[in-house]
Structure 1
């Protein structure tokens, strides 16, 4: 299966501590480039996020955005350290008994460091939860890439069918074109009433046929079609390989056009160029 480099995915998180959302989007790029936008309190997650992306992606400009919002007053609840408070009460009562002074002041007791603490959110636990949701978002992101990749593959296969059709057309027309060229040469000789040795005419036709011969180019086009289908079937990160194949296709179509002496062959060469360019444009988006 091939994957497109263009995709988008989003996942939302809702919990007691608040809400968050991951967004991942990518476009085509020669290499893998990752850009992360994270809230300051989660900057420590950046190396792990990059590592996760490198393990699952090969190419593309990937942008990751995390939006995070704590529930209002989520960290305002006070918690009592009852064990510490009990020890302080016991010691304080003992001192009051020894000193014979008034009652224990509970307000002063609560001011003792560590007796009352704000219930701060456990950011490590939240970070772990966000990482799990990030992995899930990457799964969705890869599914989107695969879906787009299937559409690209279908389009490319259709163009490959067109290349095969044009190559078969040129191969079938060449005998007729050669006969037409032979007749054209004879007609010109007749017009000028110039007699030529039949052997010389045949020699000229052989030289002309060599210049016009496109059998090798047509065979290579068929070979390139077969190889491209093989690369598509294998899948994986094959974008660069496919881009190289398009260069080979272009080379053969250019040679075919340069050898053409028929409007039919010229039209076929132009159609080949159109098909190849359509494939090349889409292959730029393949990982």
Structure 2
């Protein structure tokens, strides 16, 4: 498997049960998985299907799913009149008219609450359940399309990340070669300094050797370079074991810690330069890892 990105778009459409609908799913970067749902009134039950579909496919990212649905023209359910309620209203209105009130009008009676029942109020629960199930399948299709878009982004990111990892490996190799010259550089520098301060001091050569050895031990960067090499191997493994974004982000913190120590222990300008370039490449890699799921 390859890594996946966190941005993308997916769309799917469907029709049935006298309705047509469309589903759009969008995703952007996010530290965790966050799902937002927007749908028409009366379809709140779809939110659970959206969250379930997202959790089954994604580990990170801010995902927004929008559902639009409308009845097919000519398929609207017939408007019905609540005849028993209308009869009660009419009886009360006639009684009031006998006492001098204005006789009721047809439009006035039909405007009373509950007399006319809208199609949404008369939907059969089984029909609504079937409709929501059908839309749920379209939600999954849109989520699959979104997942495909995120995988495509990951395919574009993979060679970029791999290039940075290769560059880090090359810099570590250069640092290993330069680190071998640190002991001699420290000895020469310390020897010159001691000769300037005390050229005729007895036992100067032995003192130079001991002090240089002590400084070289403090400046030994082999442990940091070994850990950097191990981190490179771990990063390459994570690139083939998604979701890897969060683990890569933590690993890059360790990369930077070793690079900082390398710079602080450096005794030559060449090794310092390598360390600074190493830190710059690690930071570039970190920026790109923010796009990885």
Q: Give the structure-1-normalised TM-score.
A: 0.78
In 1: Cα distance, 2:149 partner to 2:175 partner? 40
1:142-157 matched pairs, under 5 angstroms: 142-157=147-162
**Which residue is equivalent to 1:166?**
171
In 2: Cα distance, 1:264 partner to 1:129 partner? 66
Question: Per-residue CA shift, 1:238-287, capped at 9, x if unaligned?
Answer: 22221111111011001011112222112111111111112222222222
Per the TM alignment, residue 153 of structure 1 is displaced from its structure 2 partner at its CA by 2.4
Counterpart of 2:217 (choices 195, 210, 220) is: 210
**Which residue is equivalent to 1:50?**
51
In 2: Cα distance, 1:46 partner to 1:147 partner? 27
**Which residue is equivalent to 1:276?**
282
Judge conservation of contact 1:12–1:20 (CA < 8 Å) in 2. yes
Alignment partner of 1:59 is 2:60:
yes
Per the TM alignment, residue 139 of structure 1 is displaced from its structure 2 partner at its CA by 1.1
Judge conservation of contact 2:17–2:131 (CA < 8 Å) in 1. no
In 2: Cα distance, 1:158 partner to 1:256 partner? 22
Q: Give the structure-2-normalised TM-score.
A: 0.76
Alignment partner of 1:125 is 2:130:
yes
Judged with a 3 Å threshold, the aligned counterparts in structure 2 of structure 1 residues 53 and 175 are, in CA distance, closer, same or farther, namely: closer
Alignment partner of 1:228 is 2:235:
yes
1:83-102 matched pairs, under 5 angstroms: none
Judge conservation of contact 1:9–1:140 (CA < 8 Å) in 2. yes
Per the TM alignment, residue 190 of structure 1 is displaced from its structure 2 partner at its CA by 3.7
**Which residue is equivalent to 1:93?**
none
Judge conservation of contact 1:75–1:120 (CA < 8 Å) in 2. no
Per the TM alignment, residue 192 of structure 1 is displaced from its structure 2 partner at its CA by 4.2
**Which residue is equivalent to 1:72?**
73
Please give the root-mean-square deviation of Cα atoms over the aligned residues, in Å. Answer: 2.4
Counterpart of 1:241 (choices 234, 241, 247) is: 247
In 2: Cα distance, 1:180 partner to 1:246 partner? 31
Per the TM alignment, residue 3 of structure 1 is displaced from its structure 2 partner at its CA by 1.7
Greater mean deviation of Cα atoms: 187-196 or 198-207: 187-196
In 2: Cα distance, 1:274 partner to 1:150 partner? 24
In 1: Cα distance, 2:9 partner to 2:189 partner? 61
Which runs of 5 or more residues in structure 1 are unaligned?
A: 79-117
Secondary structure, aligned partner of 1:41: coil
Aligned length: 247
Judge conservation of contact 1:10–1:22 (CA < 8 Å) in 2. yes
Per the TM alignment, residue 49 of structure 1 is displaced from its structure 2 partner at its CA by 2.2
Judge conservation of contact 2:263–2:275 (CA < 8 Å) in 1. yes
Secondary structure, aligned partner of 2:65: strand
Secondary structure, aligned partner of 1:248: helix
Alignment partner of 1:33 is 2:41:
no
Alignment partner of 1:7 is 2:12:
no
In 2: Cα distance, 1:21 partner to 1:180 partner? 70
Judge conservation of contact 1:4–1:152 (CA < 8 Å) in 2. yes
Secondary structure, aligned partner of 2:239: helix
Alignment partner of 1:219 is 2:226:
yes
Judge conservation of contact 1:189–1:195 (CA < 8 Å) in 2. no
Judged with a 3 Å threshold, the aligned counterparts in structure 2 of structure 1 residues 133 and 258 are, in CA distance, closer, same or farther, namely: same
Alignment partner of 1:135 is 2:140:
yes
